[in-house]
Amino acid sequence: MEKASINPFQLFALMVLFELGSAIVITIGIEAEQDAWISILLALAAGVAVFMVYSYLYKQFPGHSLIDFSQKIIGKYPGWVLGLLYMLYFLYIAMRVLRDFGDLLLTSTMPETPLFVINFFMVMTIIYVLYLGIEVLARTGEFFLLLLLLLGILANMLILFSGIIDVNNLLPVLGNGWKPVFQAAFPLVLNFPFGEIIVFTMLFPYLNQGSKIPKTGILALVFSGLLITITTSMNIAVLGMEIVSRTTFPLLTAVGKIRVADFLERLDAFVVVTLVIGMFFKIAIFTYASILGVTKLFNVNTHRKLVFPLGLILLLGSVAIAGNFSDHLEEGLDVVPYYLHMPFQIYIPFVLLLITIVRKKFSSGDIVGNNDAQSKTQRYQ
């Protein structure tokens, strides 16, 4: 592990930026139509519950990352294999998010630019920051969170003053009943973006106040979830369901309708900046978690040796992952949630939780089983 530390606000900033990612600029939960906001809130509640599982596991093994406490719970070699699978999962999702980023820019603002070029510049920036370490990434996150919030407040105020909001587009509430709401929330919205917070189990050991992980994580989830809910509702209220349902980038379209005093318009750059910031941190955190895991699993003496090789794999994989954007979206909706997200975000952590509780109940003493872990527990509490 890199010798570094971050404070609770820096962790909060990274979590919020990670959760917003691309979810703030596209419309999630759209399967529930005008009730998408209800689906997001339901998924948010479930996401908080799932995060508490991650937090509880870390509390039992303070100072240890996901791959460390996996080995302590299920054994050294099975835990090593599970850790490797998680690192591959994180890297694969980083590839998918990078592909999302490139395709969204291509379809919205840079249609003549090759996908490889767009992804290349993003990866080079990520490699540079990750080489400098988690502290640099966290300090960068503090600044960009404030910038993102400023842009969001300004954009929403301009939309409000433009008079283009029609609340009737959000009616009727539950017009199709609860079934489509639940179907949209579980597993799609739960998996993306809330369940992806599992990647932070690789970063928890860096927090200099471990006891604040539950509070910090829940605040970050609720704050980002409410921002996504408000933005989604705004998109639907401005554009209507018919346009939102067939628009790849509804926030861009909604902001494009802003007209204030016949001179303030064409504010698309706000949305593009939001996309770049959110995607940068999401890709960077997934990639950094993968680098940390590989460093630990294969006993590499510094994570810096792996930044460029894994960055290259990330870049090439993002281009080769799908033939076109339609195939990429189809795989992301029909395959990834059920065969990757649910096992790695929900099933495996709950199995680890069950094993931990059973071992704790039927064993005398601390299940961590060593003095070093006991001293860390005292510091955590």
Q: What is the pLDDT of residues 92-115, one digit of tens each?
A: 999 999 999 999 899 888 889 999
pLDDT for the residue numbered 370: 47
Task: Give percent of the chain with pLDDT exceeding 70.
Answer: 94
For 27, half-sphere exposure in the C-beta direction (CA atoms, 13 angstrom radius) is: 32
For 165, half-sphere exposure in the C-beta direction (CA atoms, 13 angstrom radius) is: 16
d(CA 2, CA 207): 12
Name the residue with higher pLDDT: 370 or 179. 179
pLDDT for the residue numbered 366: 47
Structure tokens at 367: 């299940």
pLDDT for the residue numbered 364: 55
- Structure pTM? 0.93
* Number of CB atoms found within 10 A of residue 55's CB: 18
User: Any idea what the Cα angle at residue 11 is, between residues 345 and 54, rounded to 5°?
Assistant: 30
Q: How far is CA 154 from the centre of its chain?
A: 24
Yes or no: say if 155 and 255 are a contact pair by the CB < 8 Å rule: yes
As a whole number of Å, the end-to-end CA separation of the chain is 22
Name the residue with higher pLDDT: 98 or 380. 98
pLDDT for the residue numbered 27: 84
Q: pLDDT at residue 264 above 80? A: no
pLDDT for the residue numbered 1: 64
For 77, half-sphere exposure in the C-beta direction (CA atoms, 13 angstrom radius) is: 0
Structure tokens at 249: 């980038």
* Number of CB atoms found within 10 A of residue 92's CB: 17
Q: pLDDT at residue 262 above 80? A: no
pLDDT for the residue numbered 221: 98
Helices then strands, counting H and E runs in the chain, come out as 17, 0
Structure tokens at 47: 């996401």
Q: pLDDT at residue 376 above 50? A: no
Burial of residue 336, with CB atoms counted within 10 A of its CB: 0-12 exposed, 13-18 middle, 19 or more buried: middle
Mean pLDDT of 337-354: 97
pLDDT for the residue numbered 25: 86
pLDDT for the residue numbered 379: 46
d(CA 365, CA 74): 18
Q: Where are the beta strands (DSSP E) in 44-115?
A: none
Q: State which CATH number among 3.40.718.10, 1.20.1740.10, 3.30.930.10, 3.30.56.10 fits the domain covering 8-328.
A: 1.20.1740.10
pLDDT for the residue numbered 52: 97
Mean pLDDT of 145-167: 91
Mean pLDDT of 42-68: 96
State the average pLDDT for the chain: 91
Mean pLDDT of 306-325: 94
Structure tokens at 231: 């933005």
* Number of CB atoms found within 10 A of residue 59's CB: 16
d(CA 226, CA 48): 13
d(CA 283, CA 280): 5
Task: Give percent of the chain with pLDDT exceeding 90.
Answer: 75
pLDDT band at 381 (very low <50, low <70, confident <90, very high): very low
pLDDT band at 373 (very low <50, low <70, confident <90, very high): very low
pLDDT for the residue numbered 263: 67
